[in-house]
Amino acid sequence: MKLAAFLLLIVSCRFGHCSRRNIVLILTDDQDVELGGMTPMKKTLTLIGDKGVTFTNAFTVTPLCCPSRSAILTGKYPHNHLVRNNSLDGNCSSAQWQKVMEPQVFSVYLKNQGYQTFYAGKYLNQYGHSTVGGTAHVPMGWDHWHGLVSDELSLFRWEIDKHWLLRQARTPMKNTSIAFLDNAFRRRWQTLLSVDDLVEKVINKLGEVKELNNTYIFYTSDHGYHTGQFSLPIDKRQLYEFDIRVPLLVRGPGIKPKQTIKEPILSIDLAPTILNIAGYDVLESMDGSSFLPLMDSSQNKTSWRTDFLVEYTGEGEDKTDPVCPNVGPGVAECFPDCVCEDAFNNTYACVRTLSKSNLQYCEFADSEFFVEVYNLTSDPHQLTNIAKTVDPSLLVKMNQRLIKLESCSGNDCRTIKREDDGFGS
């Protein structure tokens, strides 16, 4: 025990932080990275990203607020902290966050309250103000996916190849839904301009009190988001990249500026990393690992994980919604046009590999035992489910890997054997 602490101290001193550090975690709600969510964040990219590390493969282990934030706080996969449905140990309110955070550690909880209510008036006309076909411009986001929505080939593929919630989506979407989503996309970006201002204020304040060079600043989100992709209206809770990828930028003492790190970082790694910075050992119960050593550009990265688990427990209503009598009980978030975004049987677990192979293998706990597999090297937008065409031995391997990851806990998860080459070709 003493030896471990001593070794940690050496790591700490190599980073030049034998003295006490501040840690600021800026966590946005529902901010995607895949659909251009960082585009409005110019100051944040300059003040945090350019001054430190940009992680290009950061993921949540579950794409819904409460379980995701709980994973951030506990350092555990949902299977190790959830009680059957998503109503776990809370950990969603800022008060709870503040309570859990070490009083010695300096924590800031900034919360964007949702695009409907929280954007500064001065940004009202940013990113256009008309509906689709007008001046709205959302590069690599809405326009891109909107193009796919009207692509008949893609439609056909979705109908046969994706889980039932996507097959019940109305395709193409109604014009009114498109207008609604286009507006939501724009409001989200306007909101982020205000968040960007807040980040600048926090950093300026740290400078004023002469603590900036003594402070680690993390910028991330609880999970991603979608607005119309695959004809699903507006939510998270899906296994696709737009919902599971998050932004992650870190600056701090000893971290070299302008680094880009490709190793996969998970929401469960934040707690161990923060403990590590504060000089504590990673708790035995934590499934994640500290990525502090990864940020030291001279460190050998070859022992870092190359695959991981994403899991989600679906939610539904017990009764049929009178507004949507055709969708039956067991579903939730059916808006607009009675297109549902969640259901009890939207319960799934995926293995995502990111090494020589860039694959995703997902199993649903629904009546079809539906399986989705994507080769993100050849199909980065996850249009083609290759579950029925890929070599069946790969499915067997990935299923075994999934079982292993789904049952891991604490130290097991951290030391699980790497599978970088096993999924190759």
Ligand X SMILES: *[C@@H]1O[C@H](CO)[C@@H](O)[C@H](O)[C@H]1NC(C)=O
Which residue ranges make up the site for ligand X (CB under 6 A)? 83-85, 87, 133, 164, 175, 210, 213-214, 253, 300, 302-303, 328, 330-331, 343, 345, 366-368, 375, 377-378, 390, 394, 425
Q: Is 408 a catalytic residue?
A: no
* C-beta closer to ligand X: residue 139 or 424: 424
- Could you check whether the bond before residue 336 is cis, i.e. omega within 30 degrees of 0? yes
b/e string for 154-174 if b means 16 or more Cβ within 10 A?
beeebeebbbbbbebbebebe
Q: Which residues in 73-102 contact Ca ion (CB under 5 A)?
A: none
Please count the CA atoms within 13 angstroms of the CA of 207 that sit on its side-chain side.
Answer: 7
* C-beta closer to ligand X: residue 75 or 330: 330
375 binds, among Ca ion, ligand X, none (CB under 5 to 8 A by kind): ligand X
Q: How far is it, in rounded angstroms, from Cα 332 to Cα 344?
A: 8
Residue 292 and residue 282 in contact, taking contact as beta carbons nearer than 8 Å = no
Q: Which residues in 217-236 contact Ca ion (CB under 5 A)?
A: 222
* C-beta closer to ligand X: residue 193 or 386: 386
C-alpha angle 247-95-290 in degrees, rounded to nearest 5: 40
302 binds, among Ca ion, ligand X, none (CB under 5 to 8 A by kind): ligand X
87 binds, among Ca ion, ligand X, none (CB under 5 to 8 A by kind): ligand X
Of 187, 310, 161, 196, the closest CA to residue 243 belongs to: 310
260 binds, among ligand X, Ca ion, none (CB under 5 to 8 A by kind): none
Written as six digits, the tokens of 227 are 């607005």
46 binds, among Ca ion, ligand X, none (CB under 5 to 8 A by kind): none
* C-beta closer to ligand X: residue 87 or 297: 87
* C-beta closer to ligand X: residue 70 or 190: 70
Residue 65, interface with Ca ion (CB under 5 A)? yes
The CB-of-328 to ligand X minimum distance in angstroms stands at 5
Q: Which residues in 16-35 contact Ca ion (CB under 5 A)?
A: 29-30
C-alpha angle 199-297-286 in degrees, rounded to nearest 5: 70
In single-letter form, the type of residue at position 151 comes to D
Catalytic option among 18, 65, 340, 350: 65
Written as six digits, the tokens of 81 are 């902290």
The CB-of-193 to ligand X minimum distance in angstroms stands at 28
| Cα dihedral across residues 17, 57, 411, 313: positive or negative | positive
Phi-psi region of 76 (alpha: psi -120 to 50; beta: other; left: phi over 0): beta
Which residues form the interface with Ca ion (CB under 5 A)? 29-30, 65, 222
Task: Tell me the catalytic residues.
Answer: 65
